[in-house]
Amino acid sequence: MKALLSQDPGGPETLSLQDITEPAAGRGQLLVAVKACAINYPDVLIIEDKYQFKPPRPFAPGGEIAGVVEAVGEGVTGWAPGDRIIAVIGNGGLCEKVAVDAARAYRLPEGRSFAEGSALLLTYATTIHALLDRGHLQAGQTLLVLGAAGGVGLAAIELGKAFGARVVAAVSSEEKAAAARAAGADETIVYPRAPFDKDQSKALADAFKAAVGPAGADVIYDPVGGDYAEPALRAIAWEGRYLVVGFPAGIPRLPLNLTLLKSCDVCGVFWGAFAARDPAANQAHVEHLFRLWEEGRIAPKVTQVFPFADGGQAIAKMAARQAIGKLVVQVAN
């Protein structure tokens, strides 16, 4: 079978399509014929050895898949060949077939495409955990979303609106602002590209404050980091919650005196560890997401589908922070 492999640390250009041995379904596993694999920012980091997990090489990136069950391993019940599934697997999704732990698999609802299904779990499950468990978002509160046109950003807009919040979306271009408004954002702000000097940082903080209003943002959802973090924190409300989701713009250094002055919380969001430590709570979140999906209150925004051989181009576009919504690689028809 074919797989898009990382053999040495480096960028997307180092990936190569190669033949490898087909896996088997071990105990507790499903053998899945992969149809679609969504691309996320961890795919950029993992092939450069900059992610918190470093799988042994060679390996295929791609942590979020949709496909069809081909075989059922020993001890697995409730699944049969031909079933359509989605799963978050960490890496290995840019392969024609992959063995998946049955406990991490969910049924893809009828009428939903493989591309759409592959783009649901990681962004929305991360975001529902962030907003409810870490951010304690309540109806009527103000949610400021940075990087609001990316996969997790659009998920945060949709879920924020579903939970009754006023959502302010911060993005880097007018095109991305339009995508944020289409997802339901109440207000958008277009920020310049970092790095920022002291005056530029203050100007951005003032812009955030004007957008969220005099009371500040009750919850700030930050999947960007870098020089955007401190200006956003300066716009937080009294006893607000600042959610640390990711760092494509770099790991920021926050002045902790701001947390004292606002009596606010800075909260890390590590969905993968949460799902492993509290699978029942994660399962409840996923079931909630499926209900919202069925009701049409959320919907993964797949904006571009790449052929399997061009999977590296999808990762490169993600690395360049050019993606709006979700990028998906079509592994098979």
Range of the domain at 14: 2-120+300-330
Would you place residue 321 in the very low, low, confident or very high pLDDT band (cuts 50, 70, 90)? confident
pLDDT at 314: 97
Output the average pLDDT for the chain.
96
Query: Tokens 């998920």 — which residue?
Result: 155
Mean pLDDT of 68-72: 98
Distance CA 16, CA 206 (A): 46
Domain-terminating residue out of 272, 292, 322: 272
Residues 138 and 88 in one domain: no
Residues 109 and 133 in one domain: no
Q: Which CATH number belongs to the domain containing residue 66 in this structure? A: 3.90.180.10
Residues 184 and 136 in one domain: yes
Residues 81 and 156 in one domain: no
Count of domains for the chain = 2
Tell me, yes or no, whether 279 lies in a domain: no
Distance CA 278, CA 286 (A): 13
Residues 198 and 244 in one domain: yes
Residues 130 and 110 in one domain: no
Residues 172 and 260 in one domain: yes
In 3D space, the residue among 215, 220, 212, 214 whose CA is nearest the CA of residue 244 turns out to be 220
pTM (two decimals) = 0.94
Strand pairing class (326-330; 29-39): antiparallel
Tell me, yes or no, whether 83 lies in a domain: yes
Tell me, yes or no, whether 292 lies in a domain: no
Residues 59 and 135 in one domain: no
Domain-terminating residue out of 224, 257, 272: 272
Mean pLDDT of 117-130: 97
The 10s digit of each residue's pLDDT in 11-65 is 999 999 999 999 999 999 999 999 999 999 999 999 999 888 899 999 999 999 9
For 287, counting Cβ atoms within 10 Å of its Cβ (0-12 exposed, 13-18 middle, 19+ buried), the class is exposed
Tell me, yes or no, whether 184 lies in a domain: yes
The 10s digit of each residue's pLDDT in 276-300 is 999 999 999 999 999 999 999 999 9
Q: 238 is written with which tokens?
A: 């009294």
Q: Which residues pair with residue 217 across a beta bridge?
A: 236
Residues 133 and 113 in one domain: no
Residues 240 and 158 in one domain: yes
Residues 136 and 175 in one domain: yes
Residues 133 and 246 in one domain: yes
